[in-house]
Amino acid sequence: MGAGHGHKLHFHGHSVIHRAPAHVKLLALVGFMLTVVATPQDWYAVFAAYAVVLLTVVAASRVPPLYLARRMVIEVPFVMFALLVPFVAAGPRTDVLGVSLSEPGLVAAGALLMKGTLGVLASLTLAATTEPGDVLRGLQRLRMPEPLVQIMGFMIRYLDVVTGEMARMLTAMRSRGCNPRSPRHWPTLARSLGALFIRSYERGERVHLAMLSRGYDGTIPR
């Protein structure tokens, strides 16, 4: 898509990684993820090797590490889950600082953290080095079914419109003395999200009408 007007996850650059064809990057990402997930959880040296490979790619992309690190907060819910595992898992237990933890639980949590972190970092690297439009064209070249590619294209196009609408609704709520962060106002927030859903649905219908009006017949010419 347009040069220099990327998405929030995109970091503008001209490195080898940026210039690599999108479908190659997509295949590499999927291959890497499958390999990581399939690796037995106690092969620590192999995980270290994966991390080195990934960090080399990140370095080659010249995307600042801090840029990626800040976006990795998306992983936090999984981290919380991983931290819970040693407390609740069954099996032989061991004492760490006086707290009884499950040994298999510790191993599982470690593996979950490693695999999750590698996956998130690899995906963020793809997003940082590839414009959303190129990802779509890459998927198309990989023969992803046309309707799915179209749906993803609309998602990218309307993400800003819908989040903008949501931000305006929240501003309007705040202006009338409601704090969307306070649990007391969550019912109101939920209703406004419902309204947002309906508005987006209706917009979808209007977009469809506008497409039909210009002779849409099921395929989007690119």
Contacting positions for another protein (CB under 8 A): 1-3, 5, 132-133, 153-154, 156-158, 160-161, 203, 206-207, 209-217, 220-222
By C-beta, is 157 or 168 nearer to another protein? Answer: 157
By C-beta, is 74 or 212 nearer to another protein? Answer: 212
Helices (H), 102-185: 103-129, 132-141, 146-175
Could you give the CA distance from residue 61 to residue 112 in angstroms, rounded to a whole number?
A: 26
By C-beta, is 119 or 132 nearer to another protein? Answer: 132
Distance of CA 12 to the CA centre of its chain: 18
Q: Least separation, in Å, of the C-beta of 154 and another protein? A: 6
By C-beta, is 27 or 161 nearer to another protein? Answer: 161
Q: Least separation, in Å, of the C-beta of 194 and another protein? A: 21
125 in Cβ contact with 118 (< 8 Å): no
Based on DSSP, count helices (H) and strands (E) in the chain, helices before strands.
Answer: 9, 2
* CA proximity to 8, closest of 149, 134, 136, 132: 132
Q: Least separation, in Å, of the C-beta of 38 and another protein? A: 35
